[in-house]
Amino acid sequence: MLGLMQNWPMTVDKVIDHARDWHGGREVVSRSVEGPIVRTTYAQIHERAKRLSNALKALGVEQGDRVATLAWNTGRHIEAWYGIMGIGAVCHTLNPRLFAEQLCYIINHAEDRIIFTDLTFVPILKANLANIPTVKHIVVMTDEAGMKGVDLPGALCFETLIAQHGADCAWGGFDENSAAALCYTSGTTGHPKGVLYSHRSNFLHTLVTMGVDVLGISARDVVLPVVPMFHANAWGLALSCPAAGAKLVMPGQKLDGASVHELLETEGVTFSAAVPTVWLMLLTHLRETKGQLTTLKRVVIGGSAVPEAIVRGFGDEYGVDVTHAWGMTETSPLGTQATPNAAIAEMSEEAQLRFKLKQGRPPIMIHLKLENDAGDDLPHDGATFGKLKVRGPFVAAGYFRGDGGDILDDQGFFDTGDVATLDEHGYMQITDRAKDVIKSGGEWISTIEIENIAMGHPKAANAAVIGAYHPKWDERPLLLVQLKPGQDGTKDEFLAFLEGKIAKWWTPDDVVFVDDIPLGATGKIDKKLIRERMKDYVLPTAGAKVGA
């Protein structure tokens, strides 16, 4: 027997319809790429997105066509998202931090027909136009004054397109399982692979992340998504904020400590989200300038493990609550968040910190499990490491065009490629990427744990641990440290700092001081590049080279 409730396809145009209808006057403030602060509202965004949909139709875009964006977080970028998705086209977010060859590969693989871009990226596109033949139009997200500086024959002006078309356009009306958005991930081996979100998966992710134990977005919040819309959909904030009626503050291209701080204060931001690197820059800026955070209450940090120094710094010095979250492009992205449950909330602050540093527990619709190499389930004892697998309605079932083959096991779980523990409270802790974990004498060593402790050393700006070849143990940990400017450091003082904080056999066999710790396109430490750079390095305890 079927239920007798209304059939209401969950398509994301309904999110911005809701924002227009019930929060129409709520502001969306952007630091524009041209410079000035620009103010708009959900009602205006809705109208302009409709005009854009008509412009796309006039350019021949049909349902299922891929339309890309190569852009910073701004109000215009949100208009492009809703304008594309509303008519059933697929919004493909491109990450401008990728190398040009990778960008071209992705554009060709997706067969993007149109690219919306900011002024910043016009030169990259111009230099690669010949290599992206499926792209028929490039729309520059600026006005006619901004177009004067654009040296790209045939480029279209965003504002002119919007002015030329009316706002009368039907949205939705298709199956909620239709593709809505596409984002490529370089997380796995080989070429980047496309994660193809549906309207339904985006809608469900929006509802789940709005919950108080997840991002907890309310109509009273003022939200600054530092996390880019081109990386894992800004953790869904461009959907959950209009859904809740929260004011949005979009930082554009300026993500340095001073620029972020200015927006936090002038716009009264209460909630923000970013990767650890950005928060570290903000913390450094605040300390140097004796700046204050008068409105910010909560920040969510994810993408890489959050170091203890950040949680303590924001909490103790500025009264801002930091919550740690984990996710992947394949999980839309939010998979876990370290919000306390009832038992943990009753613990002392020091005891709670232990859980705050974990990646957290899954919300409804995320199902996690741990497995060993033989496929056996592992205990949730907080100590046993295993492969982390995930299942749920906003987790990828396969990659675009079938790349990577069948990615689910026979129970429908996706192997995240992360190695983790799960404890008795259901808190997950990532110990490594499967490809980065160090296997020493057959036992696993967590590089992330050593890095996090080493980063707490007052002289350390950043730290990375890789496995270096060792004839007896296969691999031993090698610690690379980038010192803060003007600091000197010694191997012994870093090893002494780790003593007592990690198992003795986890102690790195050597410490090497480097000028920089390279970060990849999504802000994570680029271990592949570090291994490449260190390929001729020989451990003092070994007498052989690092395994590449």
Catalytic positions, written as ranges:
185, 330, 439, 444
Q: Are 246 and 221 in contact (CB under 8 A)?
A: yes
3 state DSSP class of 155: coil
Find, among 459, 443, 454, the residue nearest to 383 by Cα.
443
3 state DSSP class of 512: strand
Work out which of 74, 209, 329, 332 binds ligand AMP, going by CB under 6 A. Answer: 329
Q: Which is nearer to ligand AMP, 138 or 445 (CB)?
A: 445
Task: Quote the tokens at residue 155.
Answer: 């480029």
Check binding of 324 to ligand AMP (CB under 6 A): yes
Cis peptide before 333 (omega within 30 of 0): yes
Residues 386 and 391: their CA atoms lie apart, in Å, by: 16
* Number of CB atoms found within 10 A of residue 544's CB: 11
Question: Chain-centre distance of CA 296, in angstroms?
Answer: 21
Q: Which residue is nearest to ligand AMP (CB)?
A: 329
Check binding of 236 to ligand AMP (CB under 6 A): no
Instruction: Give residues 497-536 in contact with ligand AMP (rule: CB under 6 A).
Output: 522
Check binding of 302 to ligand AMP (CB under 6 A): yes
C-alpha angle 215-221-227 in degrees, rounded to nearest 5: 55
Instruction: Give residues 356-415 in contact with ligand AMP (rule: CB under 6 A).
Output: 359
Check binding of 229 to ligand AMP (CB under 6 A): no
Check binding of 235 to ligand AMP (CB under 6 A): no
Find, among 42, 35, 18, the residue nearest to 223 by Cα.
42
The nearest distance, CB 333 to ligand AMP, in angstroms, is: 5
The nearest distance, CB 95 to ligand AMP, in angstroms, is: 9
Task: Quote the tokens at residue 496.
Answer: 């002494």
The nearest distance, CB 294 to ligand AMP, in angstroms, is: 28
Q: Which is nearer to ligand AMP, 47 or 418 (CB)?
A: 418
Q: Are 234 and 227 in contact (CB under 8 A)?
A: yes
Instruction: Give residues 432-451 in contact with ligand AMP (rule: CB under 6 A).
Output: 433
Check binding of 430 to ligand AMP (CB under 6 A): yes
Q: Are 24 and 42 in contact (CB under 8 A)?
A: yes
Identify which range of 61-69, 155-163, 323-331, 393-401 contacts ligand AMP by CB under 6 A: 323-331
Secondary structure element (H or E) that encloses residue 541, with its range: none
The nearest distance, CB 328 to ligand AMP, in angstroms, is: 4
The nearest distance, CB 185 to ligand AMP, in angstroms, is: 5
Identify which range of 58-66, 215-223, 301-309, 450-458 contacts ligand AMP by CB under 6 A: 301-309
Work out which of 333, 362, 363, 392 binds ligand AMP, going by CB under 6 A. Answer: 333
Residues 150 and 271: their CA atoms lie apart, in Å, by: 36
Q: Are 423 and 380 in contact (CB under 8 A)?
A: yes
The nearest distance, CB 451 to ligand AMP, in angstroms, is: 10
> Greatest CA span in the chain, whole angstroms?
73
Q: Are 228 and 250 in contact (CB under 8 A)?
A: no
Q: Which amino acid is present at 271?
A: F
How many residues bind ligand AMP, per CB under 6 A? 20
Q: Are 414 and 391 in contact (CB under 8 A)?
A: yes
Got the DSSP string for 15-52? HHHHHHHHHTT-EEEEE-TTSSEEEEEHHHHHHHHHHH
Q: Which is nearer to ligand AMP, 41 or 416 (CB)?
A: 416
Check binding of 86 to ligand AMP (CB under 6 A): no
Kindly write out the interface string for residues 173-212 of this chain, putting x where it contacts ligand AMP by CB under 6 A and - elsewhere: ------------x-x-------------------------
Work out which of 206, 270, 272, 416 binds ligand AMP, going by CB under 6 A. Answer: 416
Residues that bind ligand AMP (CB under 6 A): 185, 187, 232, 302-305, 324, 326-329, 333, 359, 416-418, 430, 433, 522
